[in-house]
Amino acid sequence: MNIILDFKELIRQYVAPHRRQPVRLAWLQALVDLDGLWTSFAAWRDYYRYKVHVTSQHKSLQGHLNKTFGGGILIKSYDDQFLDIGLNSEPAHWVLFDDPMPEIALEGEGGHSFDDVDFIVYVPQGVDLNLVRAEIERYKIADRTYKIVTKQ
């Protein structure tokens, strides 16, 4: 639930209609000047609601890193690099590929780029890797390992 309070309108509603002169309303609104306090609280609330919803899931963490560092960050896990191939008993899912067809890894070929890490973070040049590492460490699960690769 996202409550937004308009204190000027609340004061106007609580004053009887025959007593809503401009001077009286201005005097009451000056006594109850909570707009500045409410806007700072609303900013604090929105910030921490966002922070609570960031998790170690790859898409959530990737979105958070892109928002924090300006975009261009990509997180790939071992599972993300393969094509999904269905069984004969499943309904067919046809996918049209562009000219460069993605490589299909054969058995045992898939993990060469991951070398004992669970996921790879691709970061564009110019982003401070120490800040990215600190942000990932804040949200990653304890037993997961990663490496950061700078994109050209």
C-beta of residue 7 within 8 angstroms of C-beta of residue 38? yes
Question: Mean pLDDT over residues 2-8, rounded?
Answer: 77
- Higher per-residue pLDDT: 134 or 96: 134
Residue 59 has pLDDT above 70, yes or no: yes
Q: Give residue 24's pLDDT band: very low, low, confident or very high (50, 70, 90).
A: confident
3 state SS of 152: coil
The mean pLDDT of 45-53, rounded to a whole number, is 90
Within 8 A by CB and 6+ apart from 22, the residues are: none
Question: Is the pLDDT higher at 114 or at 71?
Answer: 71
Q: Does 107 score more than 60 pLDDT? A: no
DSSP state of 111: T
Q: Please determine, for residue 61, whether its predicted confidence score (pLDDT) is greater than 80.
A: yes
Contact criterion met (CB below 8 Å) for 65 and 132: yes
pTM: 0.60
What's 90's DSSP letter? S
Contact criterion met (CB below 8 Å) for 50 and 94: no
Three-state DSSP at 74 gives strand
